[in-house]
Every structure is written in structure tokens, then in C-alpha cells.
Amino acid sequence: MKLFGTDGVRAVFGDYPMDVETIKKIGFSISQVLCQKVQNIYIGHDGRESFKSIYENLIQGILYNSKYNINFLGLIPTPAIPYILSTRKMNDSIGIQITASHNPYTDNGIKIFNSDGYKISSDDEKLIEKTVSSTDIFQNIVTCNYSIDSASTEIYLDYLSEKVDGNIDSSKTINIAIDCSNGSISNVFSNLNIKSNLSFQIFNNCPDGRNINYNCGAVYPETLSEYIINNNSKYKEHAAEWIDFGIAFDGDGDRSILVSNSGRIIDGDEILYILSKDYHVNNKVVVGTVMTNYGIRTALNNLGYSFIETDVGDRYVLEQVIENNAIIGAESSGHVVHNDITNIAIGDAATTLIKIAHLIQKTNLSIDEIYPRSIKVPSSLINIPVSDKDTWIENNQNIINKIKEILNGNGRILSRASGTQQLIRILIEHESKDVLNEAEKLIMDKLYL
């Protein structure tokens, strides 16, 4: 039975494959498939209440008939793990993050990284699935260690501090509002050791196991938008209190949504455009996904960029960034892969914050001045709960073709199965809001929901 979706293993905790017995089997399978030369395993989490049970049962499987050094990283952003692995430059290590990213606290999951800091290959995923299916249940034999490997966590904090000071000088204070989504990035910005004039207003940084992504963070950027609007209205005449921009992280800190000084919400597509517009590179290639907005694609082409399209999933964006030596790649959801700031191409939302702050300081312009209006064409994303994703798409192809006729070449429709949930996602885009509404109504009226 399939374990892996587009971004690791993920499910409601207690349901397959995130039930206790399967988690043990996953741990054992990781040791059998990935750990022939491994001595160190680095494990972090994003703060959900179920992490402890997952960690303990994962360890039971990993250490069954094997001995490894388990380096517990505690609450830490997912991007920190590949950075730690790539910085240590040891072929004897792998990393695991216990997270369900932007999902509610009731869900949890597992992301696995190889010694180079990249997510394991689809071939390795298949081998793990095969091993899980042939593994029997076994008894607990190990006592877990919860002492945090602070030497490793400091590697990531030092890296971010260095990049902040290397990209932001002390000429102007930049005030940034940060919504941590009560997740894995909650302790990061308060622990940076920086000399630059960055001022952080940090909130939703108190994870209690159940409040991750709850009405906050990248899933609900409206929370941050309202905060900035209220703050900047209150302190119109007080520059020291004015917020220059805000950034809302998701639960595991690998994606973010930008909010301008006026409260405008700016997604991953638009971040891709804003940063690409500022780059001056010979290899004018950027990477997006099938979900990247039609208007953004057109604007990037007008800037002279070749646009490489991938499937949804930051691993696919990352693969194409590396393969094409692209300067940047992004997903609409806020995953942004930067290929010019460290020794590893990485999707790190904290790096996006640094890039935006650098751009504001360099241009001496606000986000609203840099990007005064959205260039996205009108769009609608419809999520349809289904029991069988493949059958649904096959049975409803006629209505999809009918909508293509309505759009008449000035937009597009995309239907795809979610890689992490039992949903069909239908994206419709068109230059005309009226045509978009017509197509959307046709779906709602005709499709079997």
C-alpha cells in the first residue's frame, strides 16, 4: 500500500500510515533501506502534540537490530535539517522531520532527507514502502533520548544570522512582523545573533501542540494582514513603529506568504516575480508549477525569462532548479527555492524573508512601491472531496473540456489530484472575471460533488 505522497508520509495521526504500528515499520524500513553506511540520524519536529508518540515509535523501528546515534533537534524548521546535513558534509548521516506542514494539528507526517540534504528519491520511497509491507510487528525495546543536540541547531541559527548580516546593513531599520503559525519556526528569530538593523515583531510563536496553523500563519495570512493594517493605521506618524512588511510562515517553516505594508497579501507566485525582476543573471531561467498563475508566467516571459513548469511539490521545483541551474523556483503556496545564497539549493522561508528585506533596503522602496498591483489574472481554486481521485478525473473529463471551450485560449483550467489529501483541485484562470465566473458556475452546477 502506498505510503508517500508529494511531500513525505502524511495522515491523521492514528490512521494509516500514521498509526503506531506502521510508524514502527517505517522506522525499521528506513534503517534497512537508507542506513547501510549511516551512523547519525538527525530528527526534529514542528510542535504537534503527536510528535512524541511518533518519535518514540519511529526510534523503536530504527534501532531494532541496529545501532545509530540519534541526534534529537527538538522544535526546528524543516529547512534546518538539510542545511545541517549539507554543512556537516558527512556521508554517514540522514535527517527526519516529524511534520504535517500546513495541515491541522490532528495530522502528522514524516519527511526524510539523505546525507546531501535532499529529500530521498522516489526509488528509495518505493523500497521503504516494499519493506514496510513485508515487516512484522515487534515489541518496544528502546528508551528514547530527548536531550536536544544544541550544537547542530546552532549551525542553522548561525547560518541565518550570517546571511542576515551579509545581506542587510545598518543604514536603515527594517521592521518586520512575523507570524510563526505556532509551529517549528517559533524560536528562530528571537535567537538570532545579528548586528543588522532588523526589528522583529513576532507573534503566534507559542506552540501548545494543538494551535499550529490555527487561524494563523501561511494558511491564514489574513491574520497577519489585519495586524499590519491596524498597526500602521495606529502609528501613521511614528516611523519607529511602522511595519515595513510581514511574513507568515507555515507549520514547518519551509513556505511563507508575504504581506505588504498596506496589508496586501502576496503569494508564492508573486514572490517569484518580485525577486526574479530584481535578479540580473545570464541564465534567465525560473521554475514554477502547473499551478503558477497565467499572469505571472506572462510577466516573467516579458522579463526575458524561460519558465520551466513542474508538477506540484517543492521537491519537483527543487529538482528543476538544480537541473536547469535556475536562480529561483517557487510554488503558489509559498515554497520558494533559492539557488544563490548557500551551498545547497534549498526551499527555506526564512531565506525569503532575508531576500525581501535586502530588496527593500537596496531600493529604498516599500513592497507596495516595488509591486504596486497584482499582475495575476483572476483565478478560482475549487477543492472537491472524493474517495477515488483517479476515477473522478476520468469520469468528469467531458465537463473539463467544455470549460476549456469557454476559456477560449485566454486562460486555462487545471484538474489535479492532491498529493497529500483526498481532494481533487480544479484551478480556473482567465483574464475576464465574468468568463471565470461562468466557468466556475458550470462546475458547481454540473459536476458530481
Question: How does DSSP classify residue 255?
Answer: B
CA 417 centroid distance within chain = 18
Q: Specify whether the backbone of 396 is left (phi greater than 0), alpha (psi in -120 to 50) or beta.
A: alpha
**Per the structure block, which three cell numbers stand in for 84?**
545541517
Query: In whole angstroms, how far apart are CA 223 and each of 216, 218, 263, 264, 302?
Result: 6, 9, 10, 12, 34
Helical H segments across 35-174, by residue range = 51-62, 80-88, 122-133, 150-167
Q: Is 252 helix (H, G, I), strand (E, B) or coil?
A: coil
**Alpha carbon separation from 35 to 43, 149, 336, 349 (Å, rounded):** 14, 20, 30, 29
Cell of 53: 508518540
Q: Give the active site residues.
A: 101
Q: How far apart are CA 133 and CA 129, in angstroms?
A: 6
Measure the CA–CA gap between 390 and 312, rounded to whole angstroms: 17
Distances (CA, A) of 27 to 58, 374, 428: 5, 45, 41
